[in-house]
Structure 1
Amino acid sequence: MARAASPGSWASVRRAAVAKVVVMVVSGAFGLVNTRLIIGHFGADAYAQYGLLATFPTLMPFTDMGIGAVILNAVAASRDLPHDAVVRRTLTTALRVLLVSALLIATAGIVLGLLGLWPTLLGARLMEGGGRTATVCLVIYAAALPLSVGQRVVVGMGRSATQVLSQGIVSPALSCLLVITIVARLDAGNAVSVLSYLANTLVSIICLVVAWRATRPLLRDAVRDVPRLRAVRGVRIVDTAVPQLVQSLAIPIAFQTDRLLLSHLGRSEALAQYNLAAQLFNLLTQTVVVTGVAMWPHFARARADGRVESPFRPALLFGAGGLAMGLVLAALTPWAARLLSDGAVTIPLALIVASVLNVGVEAFKQPLGMYMTDPRGLRFQMLPVLVLVPVNLALSWVLIEYLGAAGPILGSVLSVAVCQILPYSWWVARDVRRRRGEAARDGGQ
């Protein structure tokens, strides 16, 4: 018979949520300081270039090649992590893939720099010497990519709060680097973007150190095996990595086109309204997503232990919590909008309602998606996600005419409900019944 999880098994999920709230507060405060320092001492052009180059990671969601899912499942399922031979080979395989990816990214950045193509790709907002800066930023990003295995190991160990808290060091670290540059009286407008990439690299370094110490000698042995291509064969990762890679490519396309559609189809004030509402409600959706990822190792460990845990009750509780937080923020939104925009932008009721529903839908979806993180579940998720892209685009296109800035948000709510929540619920219900039947048969023998 399947064993039930203890209430304490969800402690890591709660800690991740609290950690995300703390990090958002700290990052928000230091973010305002950094904005003031950059604009005040290096100019508006440096700030514009900093914002432009900071988008590189969001434009390249494919860089880890879906490896994160492979590491999370292997680490979460392990009973003796420091000495687990399967996890060791999995990490060795992951490092090899990430090193190849890093080499390709760095090479692309250097070639673009040598050919002088950065201004063509990024537009006229680059400062003089901005092409070299873009190349350096991309090389730093590529160099940090293999180090990101530490973050995946930490999350797989059920220590998502550690990974989230490490992100809180980025904004303070950037503040320190900016102050040092200012005190040294360096004319470093182009260096601002480089400093931000160096600060972000600290997250991977911190998590790698934590993972290295917590799993000794696992990571040391995995790194040692990387060049031993013939003696140490890799593990099969296609079944997990490819579905995760497809989702990492499709989901940004589905949800990052809202501003583009509003720019072309919406009224003049719609884009400003959307941006301001997103600035507020993204605080909740980011917390929802981070907390959802913390559930991944919980369900992976349950599978490895032979426990059959349905995600429907967590989904209901999580969805209700998301709606409750959304309603609280909705009550504060008119006041916050006046404060942030100095009264220049008013967020309409339809946009507030759509944003609350979006938080609730995303929250309900997370436990279902985190349950479906074995190869079978990830493969099933691919088709709904691929269908989601055109459906969301079409709904947003139509609804903008009637609802303005609320159109794309409501389009996302409807497309997620129809293309993800409904098929995910069907698949999960069948899988839970199947696994409980197998557990009952095994228990009766």
Structure 2
Amino acid sequence: MSAILGIVVTRLIIDHFGIDTYAQYILLVGIAGLIPFSDLGLTAAIMNAVAGADDPRRDNNLRLVLVSCLRLLAGCCVTVVSVALILYATGLWPTLLGSALTPETGALAATLCLAVFGFNLLIAFGQRILAALGMNVVVVLLSALQTPIVLLALWAMIQLGAGGGYIAVASYLATALISGLAILIAARMISPMLGSALRGAVDRKVKGARVFNTAWPMLIQMIALPIAMSSDRLVLSLVGTVSDLTQYSLANQIFSPVLAVVTTAGFALWPVFAKARSTGTRAPVSPGKMSLVFAGAAALAALILAAASGWLSEVASGGKIHLDAPLLWAFGVFIVLQSAKYPFGMYLTDASGLRFQAFFILGMLPVNLGLTITLIPALGAVAPVLGSIIGVLFFQFIPNWFLVRRRLAALDARTLEKHVTASTEVDA
């Protein structure tokens, strides 16, 4: 449903405000993908603490983790909002975002988007708490509200005759609203934990828990991954053409709902693997089997979307944007690879596993970005997707699969040793 409504949003923007406004909308919506590192990777510490707690309502370690994270997130909020205001005051937004930013509304719209994003950091971890509690269905339902809210705001703008330059701001406000609902539900589910942590965060006498052992490798991933993979729109805006940007953006819009579902399902595995890790046992689900399931489901979805892409692009752009077969196939392969590597990544969410992933992602960064910049003149919109495919395959899927296999083998060996020792003691 979100995918269909997203197509409707695209069509309304193009019909009522034009291709240039659509290009700016897509570019500004992508800002959040470029700076997810703004929370310093603290959600990893929160998820592990919630998943590992026997009673999240009263667990002291969870309280101290939340105290530390709330303090740090407040600093992140101030930093992001300050950067937004500085970029606006100095007139640097057009230099930073390129030609897709319209002169009339672009700078102010970008400032408002980034400011709302900054304030949202204070409450965005609510969805992670819900996921760690096993309430993934609630997270999915809340996330499904995003596109309907944007569509409602867009309809209101059209009816009121307002300009379309600030449509992206509505998307960020919708995200903030969803985060607000999630944090309210999470606070109720672990009550009185969140209130206690908030009081501790403002009390300078309370010393928080150590969080950067898991946060810093997650931070590296959150810095490197967007630069390597989510900067495609920005690179196309700077190196390619507006046509390249709009083709890539529409194809991404068609296929991205599959990744959204995979991401949500993948996060549901995090607390399962974290709980098994804390008890030293095998998880009830195998990361290898889940990888095959994820890849198979993604392949089926990609084939359906590729087959329907002609109709979807016609509905979305009124025939103004044409998607070539190489771009569609490239996105399909990328979706399958991303889906296949997700369970392995969720299995490696302890401190050492996150460090392992972080180092490989740092290696992926120059390869992916270099390929994208080099290939855009020849391949256009396909270039960023091809760079992402190579990066994910050689720097995420293969290394993560190898380490997970080693860990599972070591776990089985320890389990067998315990059984042998126990049997020997009984016989004695």
In the superposition, the TM-score normalised over structure 1's length comes to 0.80
Per the TM alignment, residue 428 of structure 1 is displaced from its structure 2 partner at its CA by 0.8
Alignment of 1:7-406 (within 5 A): 22-26=1-5, 28-29=7-8, 31=9, 35=13, 39=16, 53-113=28-88, 125-127=102-104, 134-174=110-150, 194-230=169-205, 232-259=206-233, 273-309=247-283, 310-343=286-319, 345-396=321-372, 405-406=381-382
What is the letter of the counterpart of residue 233 of structure 1?
K
* SS of residue in 2 equivalent to 1:82: coil
Per the TM alignment, residue 193 of structure 1 is displaced from its structure 2 partner at its CA by 5.5
1:8 alignment counterpart: none
Q: Distance in 1 between matches of 2:249 and 2:373?
A: 17
- Structure 1 residues 377 and 112: alpha-carbon distance in aligned structure 2, compared to 1, 3 A threshold: same
Per the TM alignment, residue 343 of structure 1 is displaced from its structure 2 partner at its CA by 4.6
What is the letter of the counterpart of residue 63 of structure 2?
R
2:413 alignment counterpart: 437
* SS of residue in 2 equivalent to 1:148: coil
Of residues 236-245 and 398-407 in structure 1, the stretch that sits farther from structure 2 once superposed is: 398-407
Give per-residue Cα distances to partners, 1:65-97, cap 9 Å, x unaligned: 100111111111222111111111111111011
Q: Distance in 2 between matches of 1:36 and 1:348?
A: 20
Q: Distance in 2 between matches of 1:104 and 1:262?
A: 27
Q: Distance in 2 between matches of 1:121 and 1:69?
A: 29
What is the letter of the counterpart of residue 125 of structure 1?
T
Q: Distance in 2 between matches of 1:272 and 1:187?
A: 23
Q: Distance in 1 between matches of 2:379 and 2:112?
A: 43
- Structure 1 residues 261 and 80: alpha-carbon distance in aligned structure 2, compared to 1, 3 A threshold: closer
What is the letter of the counterpart of residue 189 of structure 2?
A
Per the TM alignment, residue 167 of structure 1 is displaced from its structure 2 partner at its CA by 2.5
Of residues 136-145 and 293-302 in structure 1, the stretch that sits farther from structure 2 once superposed is: 136-145
What is the letter of the counterpart of residue 296 of structure 1?
W
Task: Show structure 2 runs of 5+ residues with no match.
Answer: 423-428
What is the letter of the counterpart of residue 338 of structure 2?
E
Per the TM alignment, residue 163 of structure 1 is displaced from its structure 2 partner at its CA by 1.9
CA contact (8 A) 1:274 1:406 kept: yes
Of residues 398-407 and 315-324 in structure 1, the stretch that sits farther from structure 2 once superposed is: 398-407
Q: Distance in 2 between matches of 1:403 and 1:275?
A: 15
- Correspondence for 1:417 among 387, 393, 400: 393
CA contact (8 A) 1:27 1:168 kept: no
Q: Distance in 2 between matches of 1:89 and 1:164?
A: 28
Q: Distance in 2 between matches of 1:408 and 1:295?
A: 29
1:11 alignment counterpart: none
Q: Distance in 2 between matches of 1:262 and 1:118?
A: 16
1:13 alignment counterpart: none
CA contact (8 A) 1:23 1:167 kept: no
CA contact (8 A) 1:49 1:127 kept: no
- Structure 1 residues 212 and 299: alpha-carbon distance in aligned structure 2, compared to 1, 3 A threshold: same
Give per-residue Cα distances to partners, 1:406-433, cap 9 Å, x unaligned: 4442332233212211111111111111
Per the TM alignment, residue 404 of structure 1 is displaced from its structure 2 partner at its CA by 5.4
Q: Distance in 1 between matches of 2:109 and 2:38?
A: 20
- Correspondence for 2:404 among 406, 428, 435: 428
What is the letter of the counterpart of residue 308 of structure 2?
L
CA contact (8 A) 1:23 1:165 kept: no
Per the TM alignment, residue 178 of structure 1 is displaced from its structure 2 partner at its CA by 6.2
Q: Distance in 2 between matches of 1:316 and 1:61?
A: 28
What is the letter of the counterpart of residue 153 of structure 1?
I
What is the letter of the counterpart of residue 302 of structure 2?
G
Q: Percent identity?
A: 35
Give per-residue Cα distances to partners, 1:69-127, cap 9 Å, x unaligned: 11111111222111111111111111011011112222333444555655665677243
What is the letter of the counterpart of residue 336 of structure 1?
L
Give per-residue Cα distances to partners, 1:236-262, cap 9 Å, x unaligned: 112211111111111111123545666
- Structure 1 residues 72 and 49: alpha-carbon distance in aligned structure 2, compared to 1, 3 A threshold: same
- Structure 1 residues 441 and 426: alpha-carbon distance in aligned structure 2, compared to 1, 3 A threshold: same
CA contact (8 A) 1:88 1:218 kept: yes
Task: Show structure 1 runs of 5+ residues with no match.
Answer: 1-21
Of residues 80-89 and 187-196 in structure 1, the stretch that sits farther from structure 2 once superposed is: 187-196
